[in-house]
Structure 1
Amino acid sequence: MSELPKFKYQPNALELGIIEKKNIDCPVCEKNREYAYSGGIYAVEEVEFICPWCIADGSAAEKYDGMYVDDASCEEVSDQNKLTELVTKTPNYVSWQQEVWLAHHDDYCSFERYVGWKEIKHLKENLSDDIERIKSEYGLSQSEFEQYLVNDGGMQGYLFKCLHCDQHRLHIDTN
């Protein structure tokens, strides 16, 4: 079995369950594979499982004229090729509402993991701009933010990291 492809913007896909160990017959390359992406693809045709190799090379997005990440939910970067790589060659993370992909230094950040306050409190200073934005948007005090942000709780955190300077970014949604 060949090594799993590496995704620039989704380096922890296997560990996070975004790519899972599951025997499938990939509908794109028509090969029997030991790994599958079961997340969504924005396409007309419904597709249940795609192998990671067909995501990485863009053939699945091309076949279904689809994308994994909604381009309208991505922060802006100046290089259209980076957006294309993100939306057509990167498996998406799972969110309750609409996923949002954050950027920094004119490039998309890598999705690191699902988090609550407990997992990110040591990054409080690093995340201060995003924390202040979120608190303002939801009308939360610092103590409410810390109390409500719980991994797999009512307010879910999504931690990103800049590929160029290691700055962390945070997005949240609520169920």
Structure 2
Amino acid sequence: MPQPRFRYHPDPVATGSAVPTVEACVLCGIARGWRYAGPIYGRQVDVLCLYCIASGEAARALTGGVDFPCMFTDATDVPPGVPFAVVEEVTQRTPGFVSWQQPSWLYHCGDGAAFLGAAGYEELRAHPDALEMIRDDLHRLGWPADQAEAMLRRMDRSGEPAAILFRCLHCGVHLASWEMVHADVEASVQVLGPGHETTVGRHAGAVGYRTCPYAGRPRIPA
């Protein structure tokens, strides 16, 4: 069965955000062959089809409370000037993705970017613009050049550290964030030396390690 099209997540099957199933969606009652396999920040269900996400029915039906609608990705670090309608479509009508840290979408040219999936060093080499963004981010955080390069070469699309790859829908530039588990963050702080704990912990730019203080409690800026 053909799956719905998502402007900001072109291929949920390829990224692993949709997996095969013979079971019917708990909301619409239809067995569509695929179920959503990403995060749900709201009422949890076992089988959710992509059609119910695309239509907005899932966001309406699975709301976690009066204050927060159900969302499938967080709305942190949204640049000024991005229309609320875009943020709403990204967070409530687009499949999210699983990551080591709180998943966060990237934006460019005043719009949401298209999520392409996890990436390791080999995948990043095919997109030097994204690779350079992560390299610049590590340098901005104070990583020595040799350690930054070692970090980049360790990136593994199926492990950690890993990059999260996006593409701007307007200018075509590739964007990337990066993430790793807390144990590696602590090791990185030790490598950088005293005084960098705050830098690493507070970093929340468009590219780089991030962790959301609202984990499990998604929000949309007013």
- Asked if Structure 1 and Structure 2 have the same fold, meaning a TM-score greater than 0.5 normalized by the shorter chain, the answer is yes
Quote the offset at 1:50 in angstroms: 0.4
Partner Cα distance (1:12, 1:174) in 2:
24
Partner Cα distance (1:77, 1:130) in 2:
24
Quote the offset at 1:74 in angstroms: 4.4
Deviates more, 1:94-103 or 1:69-78: 69-78
Q: Looking at CA atoms only, which structure, 1 or 2, has the larger radius of gyration? A: 2
Find the counterpart in structure 2 of residue 25 from structure 1. Answer: 24
Selected match of 1:101 from 99, 105, 129: 105
Matched, 1:137 2:135: no
Partner Cα distance (1:140, 1:89) in 2:
41
**Counterparts of residues 19-168 of structure 1 (less than 5 Å):** 19-43=18-42, 45-65=43-63, 66-72=70-76, 74-125=78-129, 127-137=131-141, 139=143, 141=145, 142-168=148-174
Per-residue CA deviation, residues 18-38 of structure 1 (Å, 9 max, x unaligned), is 111211221111222211102
Find the counterpart in structure 2 of residue 171 from structure 1. Answer: 177
Structure 1: segments with no counterpart, 5+ residues: none
Report the CA distance shift for 1:112/1:136 in structure 2 as closer, same or farther (over 3 A).
same
Quote the offset at 1:149 in angstroms: 1.7
Quote the offset at 1:147 in angstroms: 2.4
Report the CA distance shift for 1:22/1:119 in structure 2 as closer, same or farther (over 3 A).
same
Quote the offset at 1:120 in angstroms: 1.2
SS at match of 1:15: helix
Structure 2: segments with no counterpart, 5+ residues: 64-69, 182-222
Partner Cα distance (2:47, 2:79) in 1:
27
Partner Cα distance (2:126, 2:144) in 1:
20
- Count residues in correspondence: 173
Partner Cα distance (2:144, 2:102) in 1:
21
Find the counterpart in structure 1 of residue 214 from structure 2. Answer: none
Report the CA distance shift for 1:51/1:138 in structure 2 as closer, same or farther (over 3 A).
farther
Q: Taking every aligned residue pair, what percent have the same amino acid on both sides?
A: 27
Find the counterpart in structure 1 of residue 209 from structure 2. Answer: none
- Would you say the 8 A contact 2:130–2:174 is kept in 1? yes
Deviates more, 1:10-19 or 1:164-173: 10-19
Quote the offset at 1:162 in angstroms: 0.2
Partner Cα distance (2:140, 2:81) in 1:
24
Give the counterpart letter for 1:120 in structure 2.
L
Deviates more, 1:23-32 or 1:142-151: 142-151
SS at match of 2:12: coil
Quote the offset at 1:116 in angstroms: 0.9
- Would you say the 8 A contact 1:116–1:156 is kept in 2? yes
Partner Cα distance (1:140, 1:28) in 2:
51
Quote the offset at 1:144 in angstroms: 1.8
